[in-house]
Amino acid sequence: MTTTDKDRVLIFDTTLRDGEQSPGATMTHDEKLEIAEMLDDMGVDIIEAGFPIASEGDFRAVSEIAKRSKQSVICGLARAQLPDIDRCWEAVKHAERPRIHTFIGTSPLHRAIPNLTMDEMADRIHETVTHARNLTDNVQWSPMDATRTEWDYLKRVVEIAISAGATTINIPDTVGYTAPRESADLIRRLIAEVPGADEVVFATHCHNDLGMATANALAAVEGGARQIECTINGLGERAGNTALEEVVMALRTRGDIMPYDTGVDTRKIMQISRRVATVSGFPVQFNKAIVGKNAFAHESGIHQDGMLKNAETFEIMRPEDVGLAATNLVMGKHSGRAALRAKLKDLGVEVGDNQLKDLFVRFKDLADRKKEVYDEDILALVTATTTDGHADRLQLVNMSVTCGTGGPARAELEMEIDGKEVSATCEGDGPVDATFKAVRELHPNAARLQLYQVHAVTEGTDAQATVSVRLEEDGMIATGQSADTDTVVASAKAYINALNRLLVRRDKAGPGADQREISYKDVS
């Protein structure tokens, strides 16, 4: 590296690109802008905002994020093709600090896809990186599936990319194949043996197929990498990507053996983790490091005794370091609007007057039904998904469900569809099945249920259930989420919410539009 910041590790977040490629994790335009703003605010160095040539929607999102960015570098992804690179530049050029990230698969398996010889691929790398560098002086290049590329060829193409003007060389472990020692050695050898390597930043991009993404990323830093590519909650295809919260907190906590700094404000981790989980429809597992519900919970008597005497006996991090409130149970049915606004502020949530008014009504309703209202209950109310500012065409008015061991479940549903009240009664194999059938009878659709997931927000029999529903119709995917103390009611609301989102996307796309435009699932 040419800079004196050898102890500074850049955080490159690809939640909006690689994370969103997870099947079913598609985010809306407004959700992408919201997550990008949160990433920028928390101090992420580089935000990979999307793949501009993939679709018109991706292009618009990357372009708008670039215009709104305050401090982060805004990066777009492009294949090793001139039209891709030009389209990428058109999107990111609005940023104060734009970057083009171009890639090509260099392993034998990936070279076979475009049917290029080693020499032909080398020529294309030189041509496309040179073209990108003529547009901007901030160019990143990636040899996709680098960890399964022959050493001599990897060394050769990295040298070509550097000589063509790449300023960051990213080494992707695209399929999560490598191990920590290999990850460190690969970076170390490239820096030592490739001419010009000391003049660029080396990055690492790891997948978690063997559960070693975080270990591999940190090992790469030990080997000389100074940029980590990662996602919030480890979101990503298959087993996911390196988790931002894990590498950032590992570097912060173990500075004694990894003396490297990041610019991330770790106190904002929990807030963005919860929001990404909501908009993606991918909940965080309870025992997930750093952001899981149980990450700072202690049930064992020995653990609790130690915690009471000295928290450091069983906690290597403080909950407040990642944005967890020290107190939890302070709200009830006698709490006022000012108290709710103050609680939301403590939880890192800013709301407008109109949203607060709606939240307060739902909070009071919940407080009347629950003995104790927890922080998680309030956040569940806040994060119940909406249709992005559009009026809901489908609304649940009333419902009644009967079920038992003596026969099929029966659901009676009243809905308002485009301003008209309609009702239906259906039987099904359980209350949720009967409810969904009633919704389909009132609003016929061909949407396929990809995911139905129930998660208890807090403890107790009066706990709110958060239900996530993911639907697919004609290539469009929409996720709906709702919370209620009645699981079947939450299920109905989540299902209707997802249908509303599909209607919004269908209206935006217009007749005959193909949401998938090009396939780009298997990129670095």
Q: Measured between alpha carbons, how far is residue 280 from residues 24, 149, 235, 277, 477 in Å?
A: 7, 32, 9, 5, 11
Q: Among residues 102, 44, 33, which one has the least CA distance to residue 73?
A: 44
- Show me where the domains of the chain are located: 12-280, 326-383, 394-509
Confidence of residue 308 (pLDDT cuts 50, 70, 90): very low
Confidence of residue 46 (pLDDT cuts 50, 70, 90): very high
pLDDT at 207: 97
pLDDT(3) > 50: no
User: Is the four-CA dihedral 191, 195, 196, 202 of positive or negative sign?
Assistant: negative
Unique residue bearing structure tokens 């407040």: 320
For residue 221, what are the contacts with CB-CB under 8 A and spacing of at least 6? 9, 204, 228, 251, 258, 260
Identical topology for domains 12-280 and 394-509: no
**What is the DSSP annotation of 197-266?**
GGGSEEEEEEB-TTS-HHHHHHHHHHHT--EEEEBGGG--STT-B-BHHHHHHHHHHTTTT---B----G
449-501 pLDDT tens trace: 988 989 887 777 778 888 989 898 988 888 888 888 899 999 999 999 999 98
| Mean per-residue pLDDT, 173-190 | 98
pLDDT(299) > 80: no
For residue 449, what are the contacts with CB-CB under 8 A and spacing of at least 6? 436, 469, 470, 471
Confidence of residue 317 (pLDDT cuts 50, 70, 90): confident
Quote the DSSP letter at residue 47.
E
Where in 255-295 does DSSP place strands (E)? none
Q: Is 241 marked as binding a ligand? A: yes
Supply the mean pLDDT for the chain: 87
pLDDT at 363: 86
| Mean per-residue pLDDT, 512-516 | 43
Q: Is 59 helix (H, G, I), strand (E, B) or coil?
A: helix
pLDDT(361) > 90: no
Q: Is 491 helix (H, G, I), strand (E, B) or coil?
A: helix
pLDDT(4) > 60: no
pLDDT at 351: 80
Tell me which amino acid residue 107 is.
Answer: S
Cα–Cα dist 307/297, whole Å: 10
Cα–Cα dist 311/297, whole Å: 12
Which superfamily is assigned to 12-280 in CATH? Answer: Aldolase class I (3.20.20.70)
pLDDT(41) > 50: yes
Unique residue bearing structure tokens 């020290």: 326
Alpha-carbon radius of gyration of the chain = 25
Do the strands 46-50 and 73-79 form a parallel or antiparallel pair, or are they unpaired?
parallel
Q: Write down the pTM of the prediction.
A: 0.80
For residue 80, what are the contacts with CB-CB under 8 A and spacing of at least 6? 102, 103, 104, 124, 125, 128
Is 180:173 a contact under the CB 8 Å cutoff? no
Cα-based angle 475, 478, 483 (whole degrees, multiple of 5): 160
Q: Is 205 marked as binding a ligand? A: yes
| Mean per-residue pLDDT, 159-182 | 98
Q: Is 299 helix (H, G, I), strand (E, B) or coil?
A: coil
pLDDT(373) > 50: yes
Q: Distance between terminal CA atoms of the chain?
A: 23
Tokens of 98: 């734009």
Tokens of 421: 């009240």
For residue 10, what are the contacts with CB-CB under 8 A and spacing of at least 6? 45, 46, 201, 203, 226, 227, 228, 262
Is 278:37 a contact under the CB 8 Å cutoff? no
For residue 163, what are the contacts with CB-CB under 8 A and spacing of at least 6? 126, 195, 196
pLDDT(271) > 70: yes
Is 416:423 a contact under the CB 8 Å cutoff? no
* Residue 312 dihedral angles phi and psi, to the nearest 5°: -70, -10
Cα–Cα dist 235/477, whole Å: 17
Q: Among residues 405, 510, 524, 495, which one has the least CA distance to residue 80?
A: 524
* CATH topology assigned to domain 394-509: Double Stranded RNA Binding Domain (3.30.160)
98-156 pLDDT tens trace: 999 999 999 999 999 988 999 999 999 999 999 999 999 999 999 999 999 999 999 99
